[in-house]
Amino acid sequence: DSGVTQTPKHLITATGQRVTLRCSPRSGDLSVYWYQQSLDQGLQFLIQYYNGEERAKGNILERFSAQQFPDLHSELNLSSLELGDSALYFCASSVEGSYNSPLHFGNGTRLTVT
């Protein structure tokens, strides 16, 4: 167990809907990352937060947004969902969020858009 908790494990929704994915980092970790993994695809970086502030942004769509709360948990909001948004969404955390901090991944949320 990595100590990173993601909920829900599975999510099935229809196109055009909005969903929220939740992540609780490991105790003591200040930084949270979100990654998208589509079928047979690698890990696409979406966004990183450190102690409540956005630190880095990847190829995150404008329909997607995220935030990290004072208690350090994070939420990824996906709106106007399309079929192509179906993927496994991973949250990861690290202690410092620096460039060489090992990432600890959660078990992911599998999103299916029908």
Residues 7-46 that bind another protein (CB under 8 A): 33, 41-45
If the CB atoms of residues 8 and 58 are measured against another protein, the closer one turns out to be: 58
CA separation for the pair 60, 33 (Å, rounded): 12
Report the residue from 12, 58, 82, 84 that binds another protein according to the rule CB under 8 A.
58
Q: Given candidates 25, 36, 90, 113, which one binds another protein under the rule CB under 8 A?
A: 90
Closer residue to another protein, CB minimum distance, 29 or 81: 29
* Beta carbons of 4 and 91 less than 8 angstroms apart: yes
SS3 76: strand
Measured on CA atoms in the order 38, 40, 44, 49, is the torsion positive or negative? positive
